[in-house]
Structure 1
């Protein structure tokens, strides 16, 4: 493992980057200082950037969302989202055609059939008691403990309903405030004996999608791809499972544990303790993407 101070120290070893968004490029409110500039510089040097995010939104929705934050489209080539992977599976019948949607109404775009399917099934949102399956895009209240869903999950599990998780993230930090994500609900459902289906990081479908998006631009081997992320259970586990080199961002979810100050570098001792505790074995570590 090598602690670096700038992406440019190692970027010339790779032809493409698979870059996480939340915790790496932005904090849910605004871009991190230097992150967008680092990606622009990498692309200007001939590299390719695929944003790989566990957002439940389609890629067009993510592009619009990050543009409003100030992440301009010259910082990346394409986007692979957990939402696109999960949505394709849903319209192929992964959890039936009558589904109960657990998530905020602003995720309604998830229920638009993907253009990549020639003959998508007709999927209808219905109340839980009429549903054949559950589609979870996120919590209705991101600050409420997931256990509030136990009564509904018990009823669903008893009926053998599968839960499709559109975002495997457990938590995110929005502007420094921690929120629950869809992955926490899927985790609870599984603990209660239900079956949860995942399509985002660290699971293979989103990496297959990212490789397809990259393949439309250039033919790049896995050895020439660097994954960048801050989530031990998602970004890091996914990169390690796919045998990709990993640049771990210590100033994201693990900022407190690694003693990484804003814009600074991790404490080496605390970093090593954190990596050992989480099972993360990165190729490189950086405080923040820059």
Structure 2
């Protein structure tokens, strides 16, 4: 299978439509940017069913295990599943090696603002070789392809530059300028807000409360909403744990901006575009024969279940580790998962402490 990254599959996202009145760049983007994605978990049953515990992926992929038809492909989240943000987990690397040896297509599916190729290079530096996956699909890659296409369309029609005010920090290079956008320093100059990555410093305390936008960010969003600027978020995560510290994800700005009357477009899980691109990348038409391995109920599990994909929640690292491993000696607690699943209105098909074979 040929390698593709997030930019390569971005064409599966709905293209930004031309403005009804081309005189205004701001109205062109604002009219075409969709409202924030409603959580896919709304489609899940109100009373989640029980998840089946797995010791490793072998229980799914080995026909002798009696688990039924093994998956034909695997979609794998990155942070909390393959890496802690600083180094790749050795058991996860070994599991990928087994999947590759069996000829199972593997796509990494991440909400990162990085493009697919940039994420692949980052992971290679952490010990995850590029030959362990066929494709890398990212929220940033889909957003990059979408905005690049809009810039090209405008230029072909003789339109003005598309001007963005960046919120957050661009990871892995000058993403906005590579897309052809002109970066500006104030709301008055901008046609859109473009959100990247994480905001502020991470909190390393165990059980740290979810971080929240600070006063300066709230003031900026209030001003932008009054000016009618759309907010485009290249990462849907509301928080992310990197090297043990909990950071505020740019996705947390979506409900705040909407509450201020602003329009939001989010790229990434649990959005349907993300999973459609991932299924296309692994070349499997039947989502029921694909497994998604992730660490977050609201994005990985909810989005995959809405797409009809089999799900495995990794519990020992990542988003829910502190909530789920509250048994004696830090062991997994099924009752804690039941409580969390009721709040999220989605239950994974399977749980596994760490990605391993």
**Considering the TM-score relative to the shorter chain, is it more than 0.5?**
yes
Partner in structure 2 of residue 286 of structure 1? 352
Q: Contact 1:40 / 1:76 at 8 angstroms: preserved in 2? A: no
Structure 2: distance between partners of 1:89 and 1:34: 36
Following TM superposition, by how much is the alpha carbon of 1:192 offset from its aligned partner in structure 2, in angstroms?
A: 2.2
Following TM superposition, by how much is the alpha carbon of 1:140 offset from its aligned partner in structure 2, in angstroms?
A: 4.6
**Secondary structure class of the residue paired with 1:46:** coil
Q: Does 1:47 align with 2:130?
A: no
Q: In structure 2, which of residues 159, 163, 176 is the aligned counterpart of residue 98 of structure 1?
A: 163
Partner in structure 2 of residue 189 of structure 1? 257
Partner in structure 2 of residue 124 of structure 1? 182
Q: In structure 1, which of residues 111, 128, 134 is the aligned counterpart of residue 193 of structure 2?
A: 134
Structure 2: distance between partners of 1:90 and 1:22: 25
Partner in structure 2 of residue 119 of structure 1? none
Q: Contact 1:260 / 1:266 at 8 angstroms: preserved in 2? A: yes
Structure scoring higher RCO (CA < 8 A, sep ≥ 6) equals 2
Structure 2: distance between partners of 1:188 and 1:108: 28
Q: Contact 1:260 / 1:287 at 8 angstroms: preserved in 2? A: no
Partner in structure 2 of residue 76 of structure 1? 133
Give the aligned length.
278
Superposed CA deviations along residues 14-57 of structure 1, whole A, max 9, x for unmatched, are 01011100011111111224011111101211211100000111
Structure 1: distance between partners of 2:253 and 2:104: 37
Q: Does 1:146 align with 2:146?
A: no
**Secondary structure class of the residue paired with 2:312:** strand
Q: Does 1:267 align with 2:267?
A: no
Following TM superposition, by how much is the alpha carbon of 1:260 offset from its aligned partner in structure 2, in angstroms?
A: 6.4
Q: Contact 2:238 / 2:248 at 8 angstroms: preserved in 1? A: yes
Structure 2: distance between partners of 1:230 and 1:105: 24
Q: Compared with structure 1, are the counterparts of its residues 223 and 18 closer, same or farther at alpha carbon in structure 2 (3 Å cutoff)? A: same
Structure 2 stretches of 5 or more lacking a match?
A: 1-50, 63-69, 152-160, 203-210
Following TM superposition, by how much is the alpha carbon of 1:126 offset from its aligned partner in structure 2, in angstroms?
A: 1.2
Following TM superposition, by how much is the alpha carbon of 1:138 offset from its aligned partner in structure 2, in angstroms?
A: 2.6
Q: In structure 1, which of residues 188, 192, 202 is the aligned counterpart of residue 270 of structure 2?
A: 202
Superposed CA deviations along residues 244-263 of structure 1, whole A, max 9, x for unmatched, are 110111222111211168xx
Q: In structure 2, which of residues 326, 334, 342 is the aligned counterpart of residue 276 of structure 1?
A: 342
Structure 2: distance between partners of 1:66 and 1:260: 30
Structure 2: distance between partners of 1:53 and 1:265: 27
Structure 1 stretches of 5 or more lacking a match?
A: 115-121
Q: Does 1:23 align with 2:89?
A: no
Q: Contact 2:169 / 2:198 at 8 angstroms: preserved in 1? A: yes
Q: Contact 2:113 / 2:171 at 8 angstroms: preserved in 1? A: no
Q: Compared with structure 1, are the counterparts of its residues 6 and 106 closer, same or farther at alpha carbon in structure 2 (3 Å cutoff)? A: closer
RMSD across aligned C-alpha pairs, in angstroms? 2.2
The two structures have a TM-score, normalised by structure 2, of: 0.73
**Secondary structure class of the residue paired with 1:273:** helix
Structure 2: distance between partners of 1:22 and 1:105: 17
Superposed CA deviations along residues 99-149 of structure 1, whole A, max 9, x for unmatched, are 1111225454422557xxxxxxx4211122200111101345244741331
